């Protein structure tokens, strides 16, 4: 089995984070939309968090390109 679970997780979180970040930037000036969240742009904040986590997972997947059964690699 050569599938590393970090690839699909990283891609999913990066894609959702990118979509939320774009939506957060697109609705940045809409005060009515963010009135319920104490005027905090939640979409932008969580979009950036998800994007960073997805990039981290992808970086960890790319770092471990060796044989998964090799000694010393977990």
pLDDT tens for each residue of 31-68? 888 888 898 899 999 999 999 999 999 999 998 776 55
Residue 27, C-beta contacts closer than 8 angstroms, at least 6 positions apart: 33, 34, 41, 43
d(CA 50, CA 1): 27
pLDDT at 73 over 80: no
pTM: 0.79
pLDDT, position 30: 84
Residue 19's Cβ-side half-sphere holds a number of Cα atoms within 13 Å equal to 5
- Residue of 30 and 47 predicted with greater confidence: 47
pLDDT, position 64: 77
d(CA 59, CA 49): 15
């Amino acid at each position: 089995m050569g599938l590393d679970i970090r690839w699909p997780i990283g891609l999913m979180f990066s894609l959702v984070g990118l979509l939320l970040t774009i939506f957060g930037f697109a609705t940045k000036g809409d005060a009515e939309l963010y009135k319920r969240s104490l005027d905090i742009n939640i979409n932008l904040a969580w979009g950036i968090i998800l994007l960073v986590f997805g990039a981290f997972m992808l970086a960890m997947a790319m770092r471990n390109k060796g044989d998964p059964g090799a000694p010393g690699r977990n």
